[in-house]
Amino acid sequence: MEQKTAPTYSFIMGGIGGMGALSAGQLVAEAAMSLYQNVCWCPNMTTARRNAPADCTVVLSHEEITSPLVFQADAVVIVEPSLLKAFEQRVRAGGLIVVESRGLKDEVARDDVRVVKVPALEIASSLGSTQAANLVMLGAYVAVSQAVPSELVKGRLEERFAGNPKLLALNISAYEAGLKLAEGLASG
Domain around 165? 8-187
- Return the pLDDT at 183: 82
Q: Count of domains in the chain? A: 1
- Its pTM stands at 0.90
Which segments of the chain are extended strands (E)?
Answer: 8-16, 38-44, 53-61, 73-78, 91-100, 114-118
Please report whether residue 73 resides in a domain.
yes
Highest mean pLDDT: which range of 13-27, 60-74, 125-139: 125-139
79-92: per-residue pLDDT in tens?
999 999 999 999 99
- Return the pLDDT at 1: 36
- Return the pLDDT at 6: 64
When comparing pLDDT for 113 and 184, which is higher? 113
Nearest CA-CA partner of 95 in 138, 144, 152: 144
Alpha-carbon distance 59 to 38, whole Å? 8
**Average pLDDT in the chain:** 90
pLDDT at 34 over 70: yes
Please report whether residue 2 resides in a domain.
no
Residues 6+ apart with CB under 8 A from 22: 13, 15, 43, 45, 54, 55, 56
Please report whether residue 23 resides in a domain.
yes
Please report whether residue 56 resides in a domain.
yes
Alpha-carbon distance 8 to 23, whole Å? 21
- Return the pLDDT at 44: 87
Please report whether residue 3 resides in a domain.
no
